[in-house]
Amino acid sequence: MDEDPNTDGPGAVAARITGRTVRGERPLSGAVAEVRLDDGRSVMVKRADDPGSARAEAAGLRWLAEAGTVPAPHVHGHETRWLVTDLVAQGRPTAGAARRFGQRLAALHAAGAPAFGAPPPGGPVDAYIGLAPMRNVPGTDWPHWYAEHRVLPYLRAAVDRGTIRPAETAAVERVCERLPELAGPAEPPARLHGDLWSGNVLWGADGEVWLIDPAAHGGHRETDLAMLHLFGCPHLENILDGYRHTAPLADGWADRIGLHQLFPLLVHAVLFGRGYAEQALAAARRALA
């Protein structure tokens, strides 16, 4: 059934996609609602800001769940501007859940991807990270792919918006030139969540960690770990301990955290302004030191 902009709301979307009768709904945030179905289940209905972002998120959740490692909410379906998934009951962060998450995250990364930049099966090339467009264009060499399709597009966008001054771009451009020597040992493409800040790490009432709101693609596994560091995450050391015991990290990985944070910091500079631009420039200078 097609979407009807005159009648669509979370309840109507949930009924259409699940085929169930709706018993009630309540908003969880501006774009997200909980909808109760006649079989006793609750689903999450999310309205997308941009056409195609629901498709990208649905494909990412399915691809992550397919690995059978870190759980992700079941996707009931999506439309142009709507996504319907299971609603995961929230609990509290614990050290044990964090360590298990680290172990499972390592296994998720090891599930792999066809190439750096490869989109999830069924996912669009023109995807999103948060509210920002993100192109999933495959490449075989991580340093060159990261520079061309992750760092430089957002550097140019930040300059166009006046967030970064043209005279300030040299440090970021120099990092891109030196990426082959700065990136550490070559690694195969990992299956990434792609936007793994703490807000997308959901601590479930079942005692496990769930992944939500992915910007999934094939990438470097250190990128997900750098995102966990960017805004802090509960029990981060336990997560890293579980990860390293499952899949040891290459020497010098901690020194490369800023290198991998350069992309999300530039995205935030484009979306949210000068403060993040200054952090991105500082990360570039540290990477060159």
Q: Which residue has the tokens 């990128």?
A: 223
pLDDT at 6 over 50: no
CB-based contacts of 73, cutoff 8 Å, min separation 6: 44, 61, 85, 86, 87, 88, 210, 212
Predicted pLDDT at 1? 42
Tokens of residue 201, six digits: 């790490």
Tokens of residue 266, six digits: 């530039």
CB 253 within 8 A of CB 143: no
Q: Are strands 190-192 and 132-135 parallel, antiparallel or unpaired?
A: unpaired
Neighbours of 204 (CB within 10 A): 16
pLDDT at 51 over 90: no
Instruction: Tell me the mean pLDDT in the region 79-89.
Output: 95
CB 215 within 8 A of CB 100: no
Which residues, listed in sequence order, are joined to residue 129 by a DSSP beta bridge?
132
Tell me how far apart the alpha carbons of residues 11 and 3 are, in angstroms, rounded to a whole number: 13
pLDDT at 56 over 50: yes
Instruction: Tell me the mean pLDDT in the region 252-281.
Output: 97
182-229 pLDDT, tens digit per residue, is 999 999 999 999 999 999 999 999 999 999 999 999 999 999 999 999
What residues does each domain of the chain span?
10-86, 95-288
Tell me how far apart the alpha carbons of residues 147 and 282 are, in angstroms, rounded to a whole number: 17
Note the CATH number of domain 10-86.
3.30.200.20
Its sign, for the CA torsion 48, 51, 53, 59, is positive
Active site residues: 195
pLDDT category of residue 29 using cuts at 50, 70 and 90: confident
Tokens of residue 34, six digits: 């909980």
Q: Dihedral through CA 239, CA 245, CA 249, CA 254, nearest 10?
A: 40
Tell me how far apart the alpha carbons of residues 153 and 95 are, in angstroms, rounded to a whole number: 38
120-165 pLDDT, tens digit per residue, is 999 999 999 988 999 999 998 999 999 999 999 999 999 999 999 9
267-285 pLDDT, tens digit per residue, is 999 999 999 999 999 999 9
Note the CATH number of domain 95-288.
3.90.1200.10
Helix, strand, coil distribution of the chain in percent, nearest 5:
45, 20, 35
